[in-house]
Amino acid sequence: MTSYVRHASHANSWYSAVPGKLESEISSWLETGSLQCNSTPCNRVAGIIAPHAGFSYSGSTAAFAYSKVDPKSIRTVFILGPSHHYFLKGCAVTNATEYATPLGNIPIDRDVTMEVKRLLGDDLCETMDQSIDEEEHSIEMQLPFVAHFLKRNSEIKLVPLLIGSLSPEVEERVGLTLSHYVARKDVLFIVSSDFCHWGSRFRFQYYNPDDGPIFESIQKLDKLGMDTIEARDPDAFTSYLRKYKNTICGRHPINVFLHASRTFPFKIQFVKYAQSSSCQSMRDSSVSYAAAIVTE
């Protein structure tokens, strides 16, 4: 399979393709996130959970997690993103040499990428075509923040991993394989996920009137899921998803990371939550965004 440079295919639609404007937005969001999170106790950040919607909706929320990361000690950044368009029973790695962004290209850590594929095996991991790579947004929407890190540490390389519709058993297998990398002090894991997609267009309209208006019911539903994630219990998170059917698009990457990190003394803490709009009636719709940090 021929290698390539992955284009920034969602630039100019999901986020600005103008370097100066994009850099200014990210810097402003990071400053706000840092100021508003300054009371959060923070040791080394081993991972984050960040949303992947258009930056006008979720960029400021993602920055609350990214603002807690010190990129100076990072050498490898894993991004675990859900596959929205391509059906996968397992995972997929990229054959790109670099991922382009308006802020500069990010090199792929080819050695680690190939090692991950070998460790997972052909039954769990394939190599995605360039068209599949460039159609998916869940990984790309994290890249401008990573490119911003490169200004402070030019040695950072990327390991993108597209996560499919995994069974709980496969989530555990993949997670245990990745646990070796979670243990490394020079690795950052980024788990890419939005939270509740609510409304008829998403075919999900869970509403408990006892919780108040619809948007408050959505928030309480998301909070239940966030609590199980903070408890670092992948089985409880699976049970929550089965019970409430919450449309958390990154549910499989989240559970892979929970399995990968469960034997380590990490703490997961959500530091920001937002909704694209406040649903008041069954005709409305919204997407929820949440940011979390994983610290030692």
Write down the residue that tokens 């920055």 correspond to: 63
Query: What's the confidence (pLDDT) of residue 55?
Result: 98
**Is CATH 2.60.40.10 the classification given to domain 4-295?**
no
pTM greater than the 0.85 cutoff:
yes
Query: What's the confidence (pLDDT) of residue 42?
Result: 58
Query: What's the confidence (pLDDT) of residue 35?
Result: 76
Question: What Cα–Cα distance (Å) separates residue 168 from each residue in 90, 140, 174?
Answer: 11, 26, 10
Q: For 203, left (φ over 0), alpha (ψ -120 to 50), or beta?
A: left
User: Is the alpha carbon torsion for 197, 203, 206, 207 positive or negative?
Assistant: positive
Average pLDDT, the chain: 96
For the chain, what percent of residues have pLDDT higher than 70? 98
Q: How confident is the model at residue 103 (pLDDT cuts 50, 70, 90)?
A: very high
Q: Are 271 and 64 in contact (CB under 8 A)?
A: yes
- Burial category of 75 from C-beta neighbours within 10 Å (exposed 0-12, middle 13-18, buried 19 and up): middle
Q: pLDDT of 108-123, one tens digit each?
A: 999 999 999 999 999 9
Q: How far apart are CA 263 and CA 248, in angstroms?
A: 24
Q: pLDDT of 28-68, one tens digit each?
A: 999 999 876 555 545 789 999 999 999 999 999 999 999 99
Query: What's the confidence (pLDDT) of residue 1?
Result: 78
Read off the tokens for 129.
């075509």
Q: pLDDT of 118-176, one tens digit each?
A: 999 999 999 999 999 999 999 999 999 999 999 999 999 999 999 999 999 999 999 99
